[in-house]
């Protein structure tokens, strides 16, 4: 083989090996990024579920307190709280 063919073979072999290594690294990085996205989504779903449970608990407590206490709407009186409504 001539010197030019040996250099060409060496150059193309190095380029092919570099391409394979780059693609392997890129796939690994994408897989890790997707994994982080899944973890982030699961955390957001967990937080949303916790907030919904807290909201439901507060709604139940409000309904329970309204049964026990007499609640009236102060805005229906026509004045600020603490004042006597006009007669």
Q: How confident is the model at residue 83 (pLDDT cuts 50, 70, 90)?
A: low
Contact indicator for 78, 86 with CB cutoff of 8 Å: yes
pLDDT tens per residue, range 56-78: 999 999 999 988 887 577 776 66
Percent helix, percent strand, percent coil in the chain, to nearest 5: 80, 0, 20
In whole angstroms, how large is the CA radius of gyration of the chain? Answer: 35
pLDDT of the residue at 6: 96
Q: What is the mean pLDDT of residues 15-40?
A: 96
């Amino acid at each position: 083989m001539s010197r030019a063919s040996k250099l060409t073979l060496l150059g193309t072999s190095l380029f092919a090996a570099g391409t394979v290594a780059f693609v392997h690294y890129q796939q690994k990085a994408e897989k890790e990024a997707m994994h982080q996205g899944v973890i982030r989504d699961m955390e957001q779903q967990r937080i949303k579920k916790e907030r919904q449970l807290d909201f439901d608990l507060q709604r139940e407590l409000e309904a329970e307190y309204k049964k026990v206490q007499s609640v009236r709407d102060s805005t229906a009186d026509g004045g600020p709280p603490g004042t006597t409504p006009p007669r």
